[in-house]
Amino acid sequence: MAVSRQDVEKAALLGRLLVSPDELEHLTAQVAEILAYVEQLGEVDTTSVEPMAHAVELVNVFREDKVAPSLPREAALANAPHHNEQGFLVPAVLGE
Amino acid sequence: MPDYTTIIGLEVHVQLATHSKLFCGCSTRFGAEPNTQTCPVCLGLPGALPVMNAEAVRLAVMTGLALDCEIPAYTKWDRKQYFYPDLPKGYQISQYDLPLTQKGRLEIRDDKERFASKEVRITRAHLEEDAGKSSHDEAAGKGDSLIDLNRTGTPLLEIVSEPDLRNSLEARAYLDELKLLLTYLGVSDCNMQEGSLRVDANVNLHIETPAGKVATPIVEIKNLNSFRAVERALDYEAQRQFREWEETGKKLGEAPKTTRGWDDVAGKTKAQRSKEESADYRYFPDPDLAPVRTSPEQLAKARAELPPRPAELREQLTREHKLSPYDAGVLVNLGRPVLDYFFAVVAKCGDAKAACNWITQDIQRTLKYRDREFAELNLPAERLGELIALVAKGELPTARSREVFEAMIDSGDDAHSVMQQLGIGAVDESELIALCQELLAANPRVVDDVKNGKQQAIGALIGQAKKKNPNADPARIRELCLELIAKM
Ligand SMILES: [Zn+2]
């Protein structure tokens, strides 16, 4: 699978990563190598294998619908760069 | 002007009525102080581990079954990448390619027959977590948004319809029926003001042109804060898209899907940021959560526990109780508690039509007048049943039954004691005849008038009769007087 500079640029944008032009060059080559490596899996015949949707064997891990105590508000807000003791303050969220 | 058809699909998000959130034990109660219902899972703190709420899954399966959906044996959770501060993890836990329920249907109809009954296909109904709330305090003049994460992680069921709706009336009927169904199932309180039910609409047009059918680009409408707003927005948007097509000629595929927000005050939809392509959400299976497997036995049990749906109840009312489809619709729309009350009244008096009339008319009127809720009604079903039976047996004159009804609610007494207090009793036919004879003898002019063809002259006697005997039935008095005059 061919990976273009634009593909990597877009992936970086979606991941909110700031990538310099030099890094972009470097990363495009690396991503292409990684994808080529993974692509080897395509050689395996999987026609009779059920698709796997999850890596673990566990299913149905539930909890009962019971309310447990929440954190005190001071604790919830403690790690926020900005807050007003009631809520988190963030740069304006543009109209949804 | 070319003809066009409006093509509408709706996405409805409902908050499920659980006590705790989807993946943690925080309360889902509405209206708490900001950020008092959060924990490391809600806050997306490193190392926090989400664990599924069994009740949310049960309610979602129940809804899927009620919508005649398939419930696949295997379903899983996916992460949807989403960079907004109202979900601090940086992703929303949702379901992508293996939803909990899919391929269902909901029948819609109109009491006034403005459109033919039809089946709306349900694409899927999947579970996901809600985001928090951000608000912008303009008045304070600050540049920041305030984030409240109380709602973060509340279980949502997203119910997606196929684009089977053709106008705002059908869309409204779909929403009404869906809301009624969810309310009867008890899976959500569907309170739009509190955000328990949210609607987004996808709309485009199929325009008939000499060169064939042309589809316009799809628009998603958001900010629909009431069912009425949905209707208005759809009507507005269809006309706007037609105008835009006339101006630009843009077809489906030539312009990306756009998002527009409904402005209820201006009565317009306005362009919003363009919707990210589905692939941009970069869904992948959530490694923190185990998939869900539903066995045929679990499904059979869930099916057996499914309460009757509104459509089935309407059918029962018309078939077993011989109510008109209109009456059945009105009764079912009043909700499960009122319907149960109806069944109890019928069990007592055996007259479904009378019970329906009392409940849908007199009770609703008096509740409205007294500004009370149905739950506060001071009239047990057995007592209303008894009242109806007394009227049917002729022991309580129809003319005074409303008076007795109101007095029963005022005093909390049963029909018999109220009738005694008000001096109401059945009037013997011979007593009525004697009363009419007395009135005719005292009013020879009325007798003459009637003989000369002025039957309405009897009206003067009705008032007098009621004064002499309040239990006298005016209709019977009229009949008797006319009979007696004819024999004179
Ligand atoms: Zn929590």
Q: Does B291 touch chain A (CB under 8 A)?
A: yes
Nearest to B54 by CA among B306, B290, B305: B290
CA-nearest of B86, B100, B7 to B56 is B100
Whether residue A36 lies inside any domain: the answer is yes
Distance B46 CA to ligand 1 centre (A): 14
Residue with tokens 């634009």: A6
Residues in chain B with CB shorter than 8 Å from the CB of A66 are 19-20, 25
Residues B345 and B10: their CA atoms lie apart, in Å, by: 39
Instruction: Please give the ipTM for the structure prediction.
Output: 0.87
pLDDT tens-place values along chain B, 488 residues long: 679 999 999 999 999 999 999 999 999 999 999 999 999 999 999 999 999 999 999 999 999 999 999 999 999 999 998 888 899 999 999 999 999 999 999 999 988 889 999 999 999 999 999 999 988 766 655 678 899 999 999 999 999 999 999 999 999 999 999 999 999 999 999 999 999 999 999 999 999 998 899 999 999 999 999 999 999 999 999 999 999 999 999 999 888 889 999 999 999 999 986 545 555 888 999 999 999 999 999 999 999 999 999 999 999 999 999 999 999 999 999 999 999 999 999 999 999 999 999 999 999 999 999 999 999 999 999 999 999 999 998 888 888 899 999 999 999 899 989 888 887 876 777 888 888 888 888 888 888 888 888 888 888 888 888 888 877 778 888 888 888 888 87
Question: What is residue B97's DSSP assignment?
Answer: S
Positive/negative CA dihedral, B342, B345, B350, B356: negative
B52 neighbourhood in chain A, CB within 8 Å: 61-63
Is position A22 within any domain? yes
CATH code of the domain covering residue A18: 1.10.20
- For residue A37, tell me if it sits in a domain: yes
d(CA B28, CA B222): 24
Q: Is A71 an interface residue toward B (CB < 8 Å)?
A: yes
Helix segments in B334-373, DSSP class H: 336-349, 352-357, 364-370
Which pTM was predicted?
Answer: 0.86
CA B41 – ligand 1 centroid, Å: 5
Asked if the C-beta of B35 comes within 8 angstroms of chain A's C-beta atoms, the answer is yes
Q: Confirm whether A34 is domain-assigned.
A: yes
- Nearest Cα of chain A lies from the Cα of B333 at a distance, in angstroms, of 30
What 3-state DSSP class applies to B108? strand
Q: Closest Cα of chain B to A6: distance in Å? A: 14
CATH number corresponding to B429-487: 1.10.10
Distance (Å) of CA B311 to CA B102, B109, B314, B330, B339: 20, 10, 5, 12, 13
Domain residue spans of chain B: 4-293, 308-421, 429-487
Q: Does the distance separating the beta carbons of B19 and A66 come in below 8 Å?
A: yes
Within a domain: residue A9? Answer: yes
Domain count, chain A: 1
Looking at the domain assignment, is residue A12 inside a domain? yes
Task: Say which of A86, A87, A92 has its CB closest to residue B143.
Answer: A92
* CA B285 / ligand 1 centre spacing (Å): 21
- Domain extent at residue A20: 5-42
